Chain A
Amino acid sequence: MKNWLFPILTALLALLFVGSLVYGAVFIPPSSVVDILLGKGAERQSWVNIVLQSRLPQAVTAIMAGSSLAVSGLLLQTLFRNPLAGPSILGISDGANLGVAAVMLYFGGSLGRLADWPISGYPAIILAAFAGACVILVIILYFSTKVRNSVMLLIIGIMIGYLASSCISILNFYATADRVHSYVMWGMGNFAAVSLEQLPLFTVCTLGGLFLSILLIKPLNALLLGEMYAANLGIRVNRVRLYILLCTGLLTAVTTAFCGPISFIGLAVPHIARLALGSSNHKMLLPVTLLTGACVALLCNMLMVVPGTNTVLPLNAVTPLIGAPVIIYVIVNRKNIHYFN
């Protein structure tokens, strides 16, 4: 147990948070950013708008989304006893994606209009994303009872993800060109999609899901031994499995509904956390995963801005840069990594 990890991660989180406020496509002097945050105003009104209306909600969104995805990845990896499980690999993100696409096309709104929707419209989208994610989760869970081989199960997850994507393609096919364009943009992932007005709803949903996950720490530890051992320790496995899936569904769905399907954070962050912590005890691992997820998301948020230009890369162009090497490292070194044994 490395107790020093918490202060370090907290400091890192604070640093990255400040960094995200100071660093962006538009240069704003750090002193002005401080003044703006202290409510003193700045030389230019546009700077105030950028910091308060754009960078601040974006940084908070990144923290929430990163924690959510990382924690859902951890829950799935423990539940399926598969270190390569994650919301995007198992097709859960695609399910949420499909839910969002269906609702939007049902209402006939473009994604551009979606952003202007009154807040009352968002719960519908979150619900649709949640429903989509849960449907995929239940399908995966059904197959997990039929297919014991975890690699095969992952492939089934990928196939189901393809099926969901195929439905989305069909929906897209009948949509107009600019809807398709905005949909593609949304699919690239974006922490900037949550406006200051939508932030409270997003935060409440996310914190709710994270709170639920903390309640699951005890059964998650028992599940490390497998379902029969867990049952023998008095855990009601079927019920716990349902809670884990609902929690994962909620976290993935809310994040996907607001920020688009974000790859690799859910898959890679639990590994970073386990490697750093050197323990699978969820009492420590869950908070460490949560903090690491927030840090990684903030880091990605900053890496999106190409230095010296005004260019901002899509989020999903950046997350694999961190995630893929981690997963490759983990697979190559799996013989020496304890949590595989």
Chain B
Amino acid sequence: MNPAPVIQTSDLSIGYAGKGGKRKRVHDGLSLELLSGQVTCLLGMNGVGKSTLLRTLAGFQLSLSGDILVMGKPLQAYYQSELSLAIGVVLTEKTNAGDLTAYDLVSLGRHPYTGFFGTLKTHDREVIEQSIEAVGMTQKAQQLVAEMSDGERQKIMIAKTLAQESPIILLDEPTAFLDIASRIETMILLRKLAIEQGKAILLSTHDIEQAIQMGDFLWLLGKNRPLLSGTPEDLILDGSFASFFRKKNMDFDLSTGKLTAKAPTTPIGIEGDPLMVYWVSNALIRNGWMPTPSTPDNINIICNPNRHFIITFPNGAHRETTSIQQLLQEIHPI
């Protein structure tokens, strides 16, 4: 099954209408497709317009030019109440909902469906309960939001968008304030919703490694350059990532998908137990060495299990160490 585009933009300009008709353009020429059943991650440095793009797609601010189609219909043709059925959002905006129960907060997601006083009918209650269950918070439904961890609050906000029953969910840095376990949990949850419920999920994030690991599709947004989009692995292998994140003291490591300090240059031979080799290399790269296969011209390290390392210097001298700290001291001045 081919995923269907739920948001399409063509030649979109985003930014703000400033004073005296002056416009502050944040980004131009955005032609995008957001697909259902996928997690799309929007990556970019601060200030390139990630939030502006999300706010524009969610209809919170007007685009400067270009077209946005939501479910095949122009965004500006939507009534506000109608748009709330298509797009649900999770924002970084501070809420004052600490004194609401999780259930009450999720039930706000039913607003587009309920009547004048927001009275919940049986069907609404079913949807709310299913939404809370989908994020795994059934046990805590009656707990106050203020008593929840940041990760749990984020799940409740996601459950609110589920109660909205919108096919599109936009999230502005949903993992920014979470600890590492909650980050992973949130991403797993979003993947599950994309796969099981066919939601189109777009989230902005600074977490490159996680985006590569968990994102089906990436949008790379940079200053004064066209947006790059594609499957993470394609973007890595075609060099998009490397060109995108190249900075003075930073490099994108093709083999690991990690941003590292500027590429090391001094070669050092390393071989032996794979686990040991991995972590010794990690330490060596941090200290400015470039691990390579063993050659007689360089320092060579043989890694045995349990941190037993044999260092051979080009002059034939040998050293044995039992910790990486010692090893680094032995090879120190480069």
Give A contacts to B, CB under 8 Å. 78, 81, 215, 217-218, 221-222, 224-226, 228-229, 231-236, 274, 278-281, 283, 338-341
B58 → A minimal CB distance (Å) = 7
Contact B91 A228 (CB under 8 A): yes
Complex Cα–Cα for A218 and B111 (A) = 8
Asked if B144 is at the interface (CB within 8 A of a chain A CB), the reply is yes
Within the complex, which residue of B55, B60, B100, B112 is in contact with A224, where a contact is CB–CB below 8 Å? B100
Asked if B74 is at the interface (CB within 8 A of a chain A CB), the reply is no
Chain B residues near A235 (CB-CB < 8 A)? 80, 111
Chain B residues near A338 (CB-CB < 8 A)? 98-99, 144-147
User: Can you spell out 16 A-B residue pairs with CB atoms less than 8 angstroms apart?
Assistant: A218-B111, A218-B114, A218-B117, A221-B108, A225-B97, A225-B105, A226-B96, A229-B89, A231-B80, A232-B87, A234-B112, A279-B99, A280-B99, A280-B100, A338-B144, A341-B98
When A81-B96, A217-B118, A278-B99 are in contact, do A232 and B108 touch as well, CB less than 8 Å? Answer: no
Chain B residues near A221 (CB-CB < 8 A)? 108, 118
Contact B91 A226 (CB under 8 A): yes
Chain B residues near A236 (CB-CB < 8 A)? 80
Asked if B95 is at the interface (CB within 8 A of a chain A CB), the reply is yes
Task: Kindly list 12 other residue pairs between chains A and B, CB separation below 8 angstroms, not including A218-B111, A218-B116, A233-B164.
Answer: A81-B96, A224-B108, A225-B93, A225-B108, A281-B100, A283-B118, A338-B144, A338-B147, A339-B96, A340-B98, A341-B98, A341-B145
Asked if B84 is at the interface (CB within 8 A of a chain A CB), the reply is yes
Contact B118 A232 (CB under 8 A): no
B194 → A minimal CB distance (Å) = 20
Contact B104 A234 (CB under 8 A): no
Q: Which of B93-139 contact A (CB under 8 A)?
A: 93-101, 104-105, 108-109, 111-112, 114, 116-118
Chain B residues near A81 (CB-CB < 8 A)? 94, 96
Chain B residues near A228 (CB-CB < 8 A)? 55, 60, 89, 91, 93
Chain A residues near B100 (CB-CB < 8 A)? 224, 279-281
Within the complex, which residue of B118, B144, B145 is in contact with A218, where a contact is CB–CB below 8 Å? B118
Cβ-closest chain B residue relative to A220: B118
Per-position binary interface string of chain B over residues 66-105, scored 1 when its CB falls under 8 Å from any chain A CB and 0 otherwise: 0000000000000011011101110101111111110011
A143 → B minimal CB distance (Å) = 17
Chain A residues near B145 (CB-CB < 8 A)? 338, 341
Top 5 A-B pairs ranked by shortest CB distance? Answer: A341-B98, A338-B146, A234-B84, A234-B81, A339-B99
Complex Cα–Cα for A199 and B325 (A) = 86
B302 → A minimal CB distance (Å) = 56
Chain B residues near A225 (CB-CB < 8 A)? 93, 95-97, 105, 108
Chain B residues near A215 (CB-CB < 8 A)? 116
Cβ-closest chain B residue relative to A233: B111
Chain A residues near B96 (CB-CB < 8 A)? 78, 81, 224-226, 280, 339-340
B134 → A minimal CB distance (Å) = 19
A8 → B minimal CB distance (Å) = 20
Chain B residues near A78 (CB-CB < 8 A)? 96
Complex Cα–Cα for A222 and B112 (A) = 11
Cβ-closest chain B residue relative to A235: B111
Chain B residues near A224 (CB-CB < 8 A)? 95-97, 100, 108
Within the complex, which residue of A217, A232, A280, A283 is in contact with B84, where a contact is CB–CB below 8 Å? A232
Complex Cα–Cα for A221 and B55 (A) = 22
Chain A residues near B93 (CB-CB < 8 A)? 225-226, 228-229
Chain B residues near A281 (CB-CB < 8 A)? 100, 104
Contact B87 A229 (CB under 8 A): no
B118 → A minimal CB distance (Å) = 4
When A232-B87, A234-B81, A338-B144 are in contact, do A226 and B94 touch as well, CB less than 8 Å? Answer: yes
Contact A339 B98 (CB under 8 A): yes
Chain A residues near B105 (CB-CB < 8 A)? 225
Chain B residues near A231 (CB-CB < 8 A)? 59-60, 80
A43 → B minimal CB distance (Å) = 51
Cβ-closest chain B residue relative to A81: B96
A132 → B minimal CB distance (Å) = 29
Complex Cα–Cα for A232 and B59 (A) = 8
Complex Cα–Cα for A279 and B88 (A) = 25
Contact B164 A274 (CB under 8 A): no
Complex Cα–Cα for A331 and B112 (A) = 35
Complex Cα–Cα for A296 and B146 (A) = 28
When A279-B104, A341-B145, A341-B146 are in contact, do A233 and B95 touch as well, CB less than 8 Å? Answer: no
A290 → B minimal CB distance (Å) = 16
A231 → B minimal CB distance (Å) = 6
Complex Cα–Cα for A131 and B60 (A) = 32
Chain A residues near B81 (CB-CB < 8 A)? 234
Contact B114 A274 (CB under 8 A): no
Contact A222 B80 (CB under 8 A): no
Q: Which of B134-181 contact A (CB under 8 A)?
A: 144-147, 164
A157 → B minimal CB distance (Å) = 18
Chain B residues near A280 (CB-CB < 8 A)? 96-100
Complex Cα–Cα for A283 and B97 (A) = 14
Complex Cα–Cα for A233 and B161 (A) = 9
Complex Cα–Cα for A329 and B17 (A) = 44
Complex Cα–Cα for A215 and B116 (A) = 8
Complex Cα–Cα for A300 and B109 (A) = 41
A282 → B minimal CB distance (Å) = 9
Chain A residues near B109 (CB-CB < 8 A)? 233
Complex Cα–Cα for A340 and B81 (A) = 29
Complex Cα–Cα for A281 and B89 (A) = 21
A291 → B minimal CB distance (Å) = 18
Complex Cα–Cα for A233 and B85 (A) = 8
Contact A232 B95 (CB under 8 A): no
Chain B residues near A222 (CB-CB < 8 A)? 108, 111
B232 → A minimal CB distance (Å) = 29
Complex Cα–Cα for A299 and B183 (A) = 52
Chain B residues near A226 (CB-CB < 8 A)? 91, 93-96
Chain B residues near A274 (CB-CB < 8 A)? 99
Complex Cα–Cα for A188 and B76 (A) = 53
A154 → B minimal CB distance (Å) = 16
A242 → B minimal CB distance (Å) = 15
Contact B94 A234 (CB under 8 A): no
